[in-house]
Structure 1
Amino acid sequence: MSPRKSDSRDRMILSAAALLREYGASATSVDRVLAHSGAPRGSVYHHFPGGRAQLIDEAVALAGDFIAVLIDAGMQADDPVEAVDAFFGLWRDRLVDSGFRAGCPIVAVAVETNDDAPQLARSAATVFARWQEALAALFLRHGLTEARSRRLGAFIIAAVEGAVIMCRAEQSTVPIEAAAAEIHDLLVHTLRDSPSAGSGPRS
């Protein structure tokens, strides 16, 4: 039974996100998305009047939402260290399961110039900011200052993304395991030594 035509928009966005992870933004063409998704060619400008740029923009938003939901779930954890460990574990599993082919679609967009679609870089920046804010809120809730929480949020996102790139290049999980271990120790000491640890967030 063939997919309903009404599914073609979602399938194209999912396919664009998957292709961004493996091939990068410049290689994620409309033709490649159509081939990957099986969507009819006529559906492109019906669902995405802005063309390829709109399609990639929505794929970036979808990927950003997926990770943000996981971070938000970690917000409920009693132990923020375990939540961050799980965040690194997610990326490690994605790398291994894809044979080190799947990276981060947000990075794929951010590292390319996209002169013809500058909104893509802005969308990537918005996603990174959202992830950082979610992590900062987690640390703030567990007693760190707002400034320290924001720095740690930015540092963790930078460490994860850099480690993912290195893992793909080396075809190894060593970089992300090293980054995860160092950040685990950093958080243990930071949260333990915080003057307000155990008494809730402070400004």
Structure 2
Amino acid sequence: MSPRRSDSRERMVTSAAALLGEHGAGGVSIDRVLAHSGAPRGSVYHHFPGGRTQLIDEAVVFAGDFIAGLIDAAMDDPDPLRAVDGFFTLWRERLLRSDFRVGCPVVAVAVETDDGAPEHARSAAAAFARWQEALAALLLRHGLPEERARRLAAFVVAAVEGAVVMCRTERSTTPIDAVAAEVRALLEHALRSVGRES
């Protein structure tokens, strides 16, 4: 039984996201996505009339939604520190599983200037904003003032993404382990301060 066309579309988007994380936007071609996904060549322009540009943009949105979903799921955890620890653990495991080849697809697009496809930068910015909003909401729920929650959320996203880049270049989890420990200490202090004030 051949896969449904929607399956081909989904496979191409997830493959494009995986390839972005490993090779950056410049390393994502239609041929490479087809080889990675096993999707039939004829399905490309059927599902993505905008071609490679549309496919990459949808892969960025997919990757952004995936991480936002993990953060949203962590909202149910009564311990915000455990939720943030989970964010670092996810990346640590991905780095180790891929032998430090896989990074964040959103960062891959954000750091590559492409004046011909400004939608990529917009999609990356929207993903970062969504992650920050979700983390800020988590911290707000645990009593931090809005301005502090927003600053810390931006800091956590920047710290995770920077640590992932460093881990890939050093081929070591040392940067992400160090950053995770410092972020935890910072959040513990911030949350304890709120507890003392209330």
Q: TM-score range by the shorter chain?
A: over 0.9
In structure 2, the residue matched to 1:183 is 183
Deviation at 1:195, TM superposition (A): 5.9
- Partners of 1:94 and 1:66 lie apart in 2 by 14
Counting only pairs closer than 5 Å after superposition, residues 39-188 of structure 1 correspond to structure 2 as 39-188=39-188
In structure 2, the residue matched to 1:22 is 22
Deviation at 1:2, TM superposition (A): 4.7
Check conservation: 1:143, 1:196, Cα contact below 8 A. no
Residues 139-180 of structure 1 show CA distances to partners (whole Å, capped at 9, x for unaligned) of 011011100000000000000000000000000000000000
Segments of 4+ moved more than 4 angstroms: none
Check conservation: 1:144, 1:196, Cα contact below 8 A. no
Fraction of identical pairs, as percent = 71
Code of the residue aligned with 2:185 in structure 1: it is D
When you count helix as a share of all residues, which structure comes out higher? 2
Residues 69-99 of structure 1 show CA distances to partners (whole Å, capped at 9, x for unaligned) of 1101111111111111111111101111111
Code of the residue aligned with 1:78 in structure 2: it is P
Code of the residue aligned with 1:57 in structure 2: it is D
Code of the residue aligned with 2:187 in structure 1: it is L
Q: Secondary structure at the match of 1:172?
A: coil
**Structure 2 stretches lacking a partner, 5+ long:** none
Q: Secondary structure at the match of 2:25?
A: coil
TM-score (ref. length: structure 2): 0.96
Q: Secondary structure at the match of 1:41?
A: coil
Q: Secondary structure at the match of 1:78?
A: coil
Q: CA RMSD in A?
A: 1.3
- Partners of 2:67 and 2:12 lie apart in 1 by 19
- Partners of 1:83 and 1:196 lie apart in 2 by 22
How many residues in Structure 1 have an aligned counterpart in Structure 2? Answer: 198
Code of the residue aligned with 1:58 in structure 2: it is E
Q: Secondary structure at the match of 2:77?
A: coil
